[in-house]
Structure 1
């Protein structure tokens, strides 16, 4: 049994703030500071002795009076230290997967792959029909059934799983639509949930939400709504996520640790001071944290440079009977490195390696980027040598990126050459790993060659590729070309660029004081569904400051988007306001 005391929220600039963990055996104070001017801390107010009153979610709620409740949601195959968004690709060779960041931490306690999970090895006949046919999926499937092939629940589940595993969401959605149209196949709640998940990935959460209204009422249960919720979290749609929760609350659906984890994940990226409210909710509802809960809290503490607090959360976790898994060990090692504690990071890396790295192959892919972060070229080389005789694709990709980070371009190229020789058909993710190396090392011509290879082999260029390509041009000083490439790609391929890709261009225009182009990118981001947040406004305001031109209606814009200026942003706004007043204008006034 554990509980979390609520901490007050104060809009003040302070280095650390605290929230109190307690269980039946011990009480542990931990602090959740973070980058920025707003934190939560101070003395925790007493908890009510009466039954907890849980308010509805509201994105406007602020301060110690707001109480936030979680909702239960998940998204199958959802995997995504930057704010990269969900990738909606349908690539025959396997789409680019989400980058290794906080979205990778999305809870996957369950996967929506059909009633039986369908996790058997090998591809089925149905899978091959969908992937290999040049005709629309409906025609290929109709013909397949007409030829006398049996369509079992197991076959469907396995095919959906294989399509999801390859992130071929478009084809998976076509299969789901076709299956629902078959009168002899009865849809379950999980089948509907799978459909919602796929619609959200391909067509957006609004379409997914609309589809729920078409589902028979008896199947509109927790699994359906939590699937929609998790997709809202993946795309940082805080208001919609809160709306979905309110709907679940109205339907009296349960609140679980999984639901709270979704909120922790969302607020970790969008509004860290709300984390305290989620923790308070878990205490009031007696919801026990999962390993994933602790992993999020530990990473949040580490990102705030609160290493002592991070270690306290770790000890609390162990006291609850949890042991760090590989993913948590990686998180700890990263945070120790960011905190300048390299020796502690090395101790964890030794634990990950074990006594025989050659036999502990699953650790190689995780070790390569961490040793690169440490700046240890010898260790990166040693780990790569342990797996290079029979590497997995993940090992190759991580080795390429690790060598690239260390400026070892020739070594990265050698791994890439081995990978292209071993696997004749590579996905855009594998090509992009090399493209990122060239971008980071300002090697424009070689970067263009990689993109040309991708095109010749039939790879589709998706958001991660554009991100690397935009960086390639920006590093080469060709901002207009970077802007043009991104604009044309998003128009022609009808895919949403990553948030960080837009921000690279917006930040560059801001540093130049190019207000016109900064505003243009700002509005393109809104058009693509990236609701304006503090980060975008801060960069846009920088453009006005550097250009030394007044800005009108900026506070009203912030208010309309429910963005509350921090102390730093308020100071910058005052700078811009000062441009409106001159000695002459004062006389005229």
Structure 2
């Protein structure tokens, strides 16, 4: 039986790997359907009182929580074990960190320690009555950390308490932050209603940009374009931030609109940022327009915008995809320069050299870093060796990292776990899980996703499904979209329509923002099983799902099964008559 124990962590309820190793030892038996026992941790933090209970507060600025340019990653193109986006967000999103310290802020600890049945306002009122002082910096930092950890509901409750107590005079950025949190917690309609209540003098572009960024998160093209147009209609400035948000959205959903948007930027004299150029470089590369991609690079340099490592990394990746290995290697050598003076590029270069299939270059860079490596250099080397299928070398780097740093965050174990999953090394994965249990590491959705993939890719999809089911039923945190997709894909490969439909239904119930229902995976189950998929087109139409050419061919294939079945029924009827 699984007995995942909840550990003391005031930032989020997380779970150690307690008896996961017990379950692994009994892998040949079915997992118990009993509930997973866990206890609730009560935060008991001593908060020092100030000499007086006055609340020093002169106002708060820059609370607006907008999508930063760095939130749209390019690094996911470089990894083989898991995306760097997941790795970098692992600590914030899942508290999957064994060594990350909590912010040393009494106010933050009080807010984050509020239990589910308690109200943030009630707890803070009591805290203030206890003689504690509230200062602007603490409010700002607390709100920032809550948002970075995706604790949006708690951040919203906290900010509304601050506003209700009149602890600050809201300015445009504060209203924008409030609107952003409402959109994330309650949805766009509620955020738009709140926007109408804001005094006219505070309705700056920051408010509409917050609304726009949430449309981008949800991939809501129609609403995003409406807001973008409204900014202009209200005679507010359309900043490079607003343009970049729309570029992010078009990159995902409508690449053909990007060129037109760049022309609008030029017409309105809005100078592209380096991030804007990176988006355009990536789009040109994805469309196999290598000449166009190189022209964007020239335009950047002509405008005095020097391409950074990320931009050149994107160029390198597209050169590789186009079979232009020599051009890709030339850029890597240019990036490297004098390695003794440019060590920071090592962690970027190792995975790229691995993509080029250059194990000697990876080893050369790792040997340069090995005597005094950083965690990120270790991570890059592990990923590079994993891409080259050099498992022993990756394991060696992992052991060096453990010896150098001792206790390392869970996210570094996750990389190894994903590496084992991608290479069907189930037994090695089990050993690593037991090691994580021994080190009493905490886990979150990213770790569980790796565990699910480990079993699913090894052919034990039923066990992966069982893990997913227990996480969902026992409310042990929201599983990742990819966890469901992995299980769905494996059922589809087996032609198991019943279980594929079950997972598909669960995915829709979980309501992943900005994630379209994976009909392309579901239809594969019907194709493999050679059974008709009645009403499939109507289902897709109801969910406004995109119909690709490949999807259409698969639907035509299952339609043939339906026609064959109809002909067979007709033949049977003829015999009966």
Please classify the TM superposition score into its range, dividing by the shorter chain length. Answer: 0.7 to 0.9
Write the deviation string for residues 133-164 of structure 1: whole angstroms up to 9, x where unpaired.
68787677557655655433234334544566
**Deviation digits for residues 492-517 of structure 1, max 9, x if unmatched?**
34644433333322222222222222
Within a 5 Å distance, the mapping from 1:307-456 to structure 2 comes to 307-355=290-338, 357-423=339-405, 425-454=407-436
Stretch moving more, 170-179 or 576-585: 170-179
Q: CA offsets, 1:413-433, max 9 Å, x none?
A: 333334344445543322212
The Cα shift of 1:324 comes to 0.7
TM-score by length of 2: 0.72
Aligned residue number for residue 263 of structure 1: 246
Q: Which residue of 1 aligns with 2:285?
A: 302
**Counterpart selection for 1:558 from 540, 554, 561:** 540
Question: Deviations 1:112-148 (Å, cap 9, x if unpaired)?
Answer: xxxxxxxxxx965446745996878767755765565
Is 1:567 the counterpart of 2:549 in the alignment?
yes
Deviation at 1:283, TM superposition (A): 4.9
Q: Where does the alignment leave 5 or more consecutive residues of structure 1 unmatched?
A: 1-71, 98-121
Contact 1:73 1:226 in 2 (8 A): no
What is the distance in 2 between the residues matched to 1:409 and 1:279?
44
Equivalent pair of 1:94/1:168 in contact (CA under 8 Å):
no
CA distance in 1, matches of 2:435, 2:198: 45
Count of matched residue pairs = 493
The CA distance in 1 between the partners of 2:113 and 2:512, in whole Å, is: 35
Quote the Cα distance in structure 1 between the aligned partners of 2:393 and 2:177.
Answer: 42
SS of residue matched to 2:311 = helix
Contact kept, 8 Å, 1:317 with 1:323, in 2: the verdict is yes
* Residues in 2 aligned to 1:206 and 1:494: alpha-carbon distance in whole angstroms: 29
> Which residue of structure 2 aligns with residue 471 of structure 1?
453
Larger Rg: 2
- Cα RMSD between the aligned structures? 4.0
Structure 1 residues 410 and 574 mapped into 2: Cα distance closer, same or farther (>3 Å)?
Answer: closer
| C-alpha deviation, 1:459, in angstroms | 4.6
Match of 2:488 among 483, 487, 506: 506
CA distance 1:434–1:219, change in 2 (3 Å) = farther
Query: Against the structure 1 CA distance between its residues 165 and 348, is the aligned structure 2 distance closer, same or farther, given a 3 Å change threshold?
Result: farther
| TM-aligned CA deviation for residue 470 of structure 1 | 2.1
Residues 236 and 161 (structure 1), Cα distance of their counterparts in 2 relative to 1, 3 Å cut = same
Structure with the bigger percentage of helix: 2
Contact between 2:251 and 2:258, CA under 8 Å: does it hold in 1?
A: yes
Residues 130 and 171, structure 1, Cα contact 8 Å, conserved in 2: no
How far 1:166 moved relative to its partner?
6.6
1:399–1:491 distance in 2 versus 1, CA, 3 Å = farther
Distance 1:393 1:528 in 2: 34
- Aligned equivalents of 1:310 and 1:96: distance in 2? 41
Counterpart contact for 1:470–1:485, Cα < 8 Å: yes
Question: Which has the larger displacement, 209-218 or 557-566?
Answer: 209-218
1:285 Cα shift? 4.0
What's the CA shift for 1:298? 0.9
Corresponding residue SS for 2:563 = coil
Q: Distance in 2 between matches of 1:176 and 1:414?
A: 47
Deviations 1:397-422 (A, max 9, x none): 22222222223333333333343444
- Structure 2: which 5+ runs fail to align? 1-63, 78-82
Distance 2:387 2:207 in 1: 42
| 464-473 or 196-205, which deviates more | 196-205
2:561 matches 1:579:
yes
CA positional deviation for 1:381 = 2.4
- Following superposition, the deviation at residue 325 of structure 1 comes to 1.0
Q: Classify 1:560/1:208 alpha carbon distance in 2 versus 1 (closer, same or farther; 3 Å).
A: same
Cα-to-partner distance string for 1:6-60 (whole Å, 9 max, x where unaligned): xxxxxxxxxxxxxxxxxxxxxxxxxxxxxxxxxxxxxxxxxxxxxxxxxxxxxxx
- Assess if the C-alpha contact under 8 Å between 2:98 and 2:407 holds in 1: no
Whether contact under 8 Å (2:244, 2:276) holds in the other structure is yes
Q: 8 Å contact 1:467–1:498 — kept in the other structure?
A: yes
